[in-house]
Every structure is written in structure tokens, then in C-alpha cells.
């Protein structure tokens, strides 16, 4: 018996979210799915396998973001540091702490610590840390006062509308590149004027077309 549908028909639903008859239904389902608190809720702050505190390590010890999130300026994803980074200090400091037991176990077994994702965009949205950080968009603008967080929580909605607010008026948000990891930044009086100048000089144009952010 000849095949009624060509084999290729099987891949249709995954080809593209947009421009297909089923697109509308798929997005409704996605919205439903991703509106579960794990994905979009401001305030999401899962308990981590180790009670690592940014408030202490950043706010008090003064460690730089890139000491641990070393890829943030060069890749789409900001990496979570490997156990080695913790052991740089905790090989000597607090070596008998119960709280650090999972770190020592990870070190001796070579199994990574299973940190839980706090911020997560749906798969159909495209995002790059490097592009933002290198164009003056600060960690603080998207993640808030991480230096004061005992437990990291999501402070911005990361919704499409939120992304677009800045993409339409970046002059209200961007900073000089050397300030992107600063926490508690105070804007100079001529903040917007300076930004407008930079936007013109560097030709900064955040995209607002669908295909820039969606596959
Ligand atoms: C000593 C290492 C270290 C330093 C320094 C550090 N972080 Fe982290 N960061 C971590 C670890 C470990 C996690 C994963 C556990 C957690 O969420 O607390 C993390 C998680 C995060 C998350 C949440 C990631 C997710 O799952 O969505 C953000 C945002 C973040 N860090 C931002 C920053 C910023 C901004 C700075 C600088 C102001 C910074 N971090 C400095 C180690 C570090
Ligand atoms: C630059 C050094 C340094 C690095 C790197 C570092 N820590 Fe720490 N950490 C400290 C110091 C100092 C303390 C406080 C020790 C004290 O209270 O006497 C501490 C305390 C802690 C504590 C509390 C321990 C307790 O019993 O109260 C935890 C948990 C912790 N760190 C986790 C981590 C994790 C996870 C990483 C890697 C992502 C990490 N630290 C990286 C220096 C560091
Ligand atoms: C324009 C907003 C924006 C800026 C600026 C930004 N982040 Fe993020 N960050 C996000 C979003 C959105 C996610 C979730 C990404 C995903 O799911 O793909 C995220 C996720 C993360 C994660 C989890 C790992 C990952 O890549 O998914 C870490 C760690 C992190 N950010 C750290 C930082 C640090 C450190 C800085 C500053 C140097 C920074 N971020 C700047 C929006 C931003
Ligand atoms: C506070 C401002 C701000 C926020 C918030 C923001 N962006 Fe951007 N975005 C920018 C700037 C500035 C650029 C750089 C434009 C340029 O390179 O000319 C950019 C560039 C981009 C690009 C183009 C990347 C490339 O390769 O050229 C994409 C895609 C993007 N942003 C997606 C997002 C998404 C998705 C979100 C929300 C989760 C978001 N942005 C939130 C300011 C922002
Ligand atoms: C600056 C990046 C950006 C641009 C430009 C953009 N989107 Fe989005 N879009 C997102 C992000 C991020 C999400 C995920 C929001 C969430 O997790 O709630 C999203 C979600 C969606 C959704 C799911 C429903 C919803 O509203 O959350 C649809 C449908 C969608 N976008 C369609 C479009 C169309 C059509 C365009 C062009 C007119 C467009 N997007 C332009 C970033 C963008």
C-alpha cells in the first residue's frame, strides 16, 4: 500500500511556531504551560542544594560576578561556576561545614552540583548575555540587587512586553560598559543625553522584529 502522507509531514509541527495553521493553538498551550510559576513568576526563588549566598560572597567579600559567571561577556549563556571555583576557597575555608558537604562530595565524586535554574526563557525565545552585557545592559537591570540576595530570586517578569520596553527605548536603561556589573548604580544627571549620544555613535539598535527573538 502506498504511503498517503509523505514522511516529511512528520516534522511539520516542529518546523516553526509561527506561520503555521497550528501556530495559534501551539502558542496558547505554551502560554498556559509557561505561566506556571517555575517559568515566569517574579519572586521565584527555589531552594538550592547548597545555601550559597550572593549577599555574603558578593555583598560582603566583594567578589566580581565574572569570578564565577566567567562566560557572561562572551557567550549566550552565563555559566554557573564549576565546583572547582568554590574549592579555590573552600578547600581551605570552612572545610568541616555541613552546609558545604554537597560541595565536597561533588569535588570527590566529580559529579556536578545540581543547581536549580532560577531564570528560564521558553525554548522558542532567543537571548544572548554577551550581546546585552557588551552593549551596556547591566546585570542589575535584569536581575536586580543580586548582591543583597541570600537566595537568588527572579525580580523581573522576563516577558516579551518587558523585553520590548527596553528595546524600544534603550536610552532609558543602558550604562557605560564598565558599569554593567555595578550594583546600586546611580545615574548621572545627563544619563539619557549621554545614552542617546552613545546609541548614535555605536549604532545600538535593539531589534523589535519577531524573527530576532523567535526561531
Ligand atoms: C562565588 C561565585 C559567584 C559569584 C561571585 C557570583 N555568583 Fe551568581 N551564582 C553562583 C552560583 C553557585 C549560582 C547558582 C546557585 C544560586 O542560584 O544561588 C549563581 C546564580 C546566579 C543567578 C541565577 C541563575 C539562574 O539559575 O537563573 C544570577 C542571576 C546570578 N548568579 C547573578 C550574579 C551576579 C549579577 C553576580 C555579581 C554581582 C554574581 N552572580 C556573582 C555563584 C556566583
Ligand atoms: C574567594 C573565596 C570564596 C569562594 C570562591 C567561595 N566562597 Fe563560600 N565562603 C567564603 C568565606 C570566607 C565564607 C565565610 C566563612 C566564615 O563564615 O568563616 C564562605 C561561606 C560559605 C558558606 C557558608 C558556610 C557555613 O557553614 O556557614 C557556604 C554554603 C558557601 N560559602 C558556599 C560557597 C559555594 C557554593 C561557592 C562556589 C560557588 C563558594 N562558597 C565560593 C569564601 C569563598
Ligand atoms: C537583558 C537582561 C539580562 C542581563 C543584562 C543579564 N541577564 Fe542573566 N539572564 C537573563 C535571562 C532572560 C536569563 C534566562 C536565560 C535563558 O533561559 O536562556 C538569564 C539567566 C542568567 C543565568 C543562568 C544561566 C543562563 O544563562 O541561563 C545567570 C548565571 C545569569 N543570568 C547571570 C547574569 C550576570 C552575571 C549578568 C551580568 C554580567 C547578567 N546575567 C545579565 C537576563 C539578563
Ligand atoms: C534594558 C534593556 C534591554 C532589555 C531588558 C532586553 N534587551 Fe535585548 N537588547 C538590548 C540592547 C541594547 C541590544 C543591543 C542592540 C545592538 O546590538 O544594536 C539588545 C539586543 C538583543 C537581541 C539581538 C541580538 C543580536 O544577536 O544582535 C536580541 C535577540 C535580544 N536583545 C533579545 C532580548 C530578549 C529576549 C529580552 C527579554 C528576555 C531582551 N532582549 C531584553 C537591550 C535590552
Ligand atoms: C525582544 C524580543 C522579542 C521580540 C522582538 C518578540 N518577542 Fe515574542 N516573546 C519574547 C519572549 C522573551 C517571550 C516569552 C515570554 C514569557 O516567557 O512569558 C515571547 C513570547 C511570545 C509568544 C507567546 C505568548 C506570549 O505573549 O508570551 C508569542 C505568540 C510571541 N512571543 C509572538 C511574537 C511576535 C508575533 C512577535 C513580532 C511581532 C514577537 N513575538 C516579537 C520575546 C520577543
Closest CA to 72 of 153, 133, 5: 133
Dig out the grid coordinates for 118 from the structure.
532560577
Nearest CA residue ID for atom 36, ligand 2 = 86
What does the pLDDT read at residue 33?
45
Q: List, chain by chain if needed, residues with CB within 6 Å of any ligand 4 atom.
A: 121, 125-128, 131-132, 135, 137, 141-142, 158, 163, 166-167, 170, 173-174, 204-207, 212-213
Dig out the grid coordinates for 189 from the structure.
544627571
**Residue 78 burial (CB count, 10 A):** 19
What does the pLDDT read at residue 184?
97
Which residues have CB under 8 Å from 80's CB, separation 6+?
68, 69, 115
CB-ligand 5 contact for 181 (6 Å cutoff): no
Nearest CA residue ID for atom 25, ligand 1 = 118
Alpha-carbon gap, residue 183 to 137, rounded angstroms: 12
What does the pLDDT read at residue 1?
42
What does the pLDDT read at residue 177?
97
Which residues have CB under 8 Å from 37's CB, separation 6+?
44
Per-position pLDDT tens, the chain of length 215: 444 444 444 443 444 444 444 455 555 555 544 444 444 579 999 999 999 999 999 999 999 999 999 999 999 999 999 999 999 999 999 999 999 999 999 999 999 999 999 999 999 999 999 999 999 999 999 999 999 999 999 999 999 999 999 999 999 999 999 999 999 999 999 999 999 999 999 999 999 999 999 98
Dig out the grid coordinates for 16 from the structure.
516553526
CB-ligand 3 contact for 72 (6 Å cutoff): yes
What does the pLDDT read at residue 42?
92
**Residue 191 burial (CB count, 10 A):** 16
What's the gap in Å between 90 CA and the centre of ligand 2?
A: 6
What does the pLDDT read at residue 41?
73
Report the Cα 51 to chain-centroid distance in Å. 20
Q: In a mutational test of the pocket of ligand 3, which residue from 129, 135, 185 has the highest number of ligand atoms less than 8 Å from its CB?
A: 129
What does the pLDDT read at residue 40?
57
Do residues 18 and 214 lie in contact, with contact meaning Cβ atoms separated by under 8 Å? yes
CB-ligand 3 contact for 129 (6 Å cutoff): yes
Burial of 168 (0-12, 13-18, 19+ CB in 10 A): exposed
CB-ligand 2 contact for 51 (6 Å cutoff): yes
What does the pLDDT read at residue 38?
42
CB-ligand 2 contact for 128 (6 Å cutoff): no
Residue identified by cell 552565563 is 78
Q: In a mutational test of the pocket of ligand 1, which residue from 42, 67, 69 has the highest number of ligand atoms less than 8 Å from its CB?
A: 69
Do residues 119 and 10 lie in contact, with contact meaning Cβ atoms separated by under 8 Å? no
Amino acid at each position: 500500500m502506498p504511503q498517503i502522507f509523505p514522511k516529511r509531514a512528520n516534522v511539520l509541527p516542529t518546523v516553526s511556531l509561527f506561520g503555521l495553521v497550528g501556530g495559534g493553538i501551539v502558542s496558547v498551550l505554551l502560554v498556559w504551560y509557561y505561566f506556571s510559576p517555575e517559568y515566569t513568576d517574579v519572586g521565584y526563588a527555589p531552594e538550592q542544594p547548597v545555601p550559597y549566598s550572593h549577599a555574603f560572597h558578593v555583598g560582603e567579600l566583594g567578589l566580581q560576578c565574572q569570578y564565577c559567571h566567567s562566560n557572561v561577556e562572551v557567550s549566550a549563556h552565563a555559566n554557573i561556576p564549576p565546583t572547582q571555583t568554590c574549592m579555590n576557597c573552600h578547600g581551605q575555608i570552612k572545610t568541616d561545614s555541613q552546609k558545604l558537604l554537597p560541595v565536597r562530595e561533588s569535588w570527590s565524586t566529580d559529579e556536578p552540583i545540581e543547581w536549580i535554574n532560577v531564570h528560564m526563557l521558553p525554548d522558542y525565545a532567543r537571548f544572548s548575555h554577551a550581546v546585552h552585557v557588551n552593549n551596556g545592559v547591566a546585570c542589575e537591570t535584569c536581575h536586580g540587587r543580586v548582591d543583597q540576595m541570600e537566595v537568588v530570586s527572579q525580580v523581573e517578569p522576563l516577558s516579551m512586553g518587558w523585553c520590548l520596553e527596553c528595546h524600544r527605548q534603550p536610552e532609558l536603561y543602558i550604562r557605560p560598559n564598565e558599569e554593567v556589573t555595578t550594583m546600586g548604580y546611580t545615574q548621572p544627571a545627563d544619563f539619557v543625553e549621554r545614552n542617546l549620544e552613545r546609541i548614535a555613535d555605536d549604532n545600538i539598535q535593539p531589534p523589535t522584529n519577531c524573527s530576532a527573538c523567535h526561531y
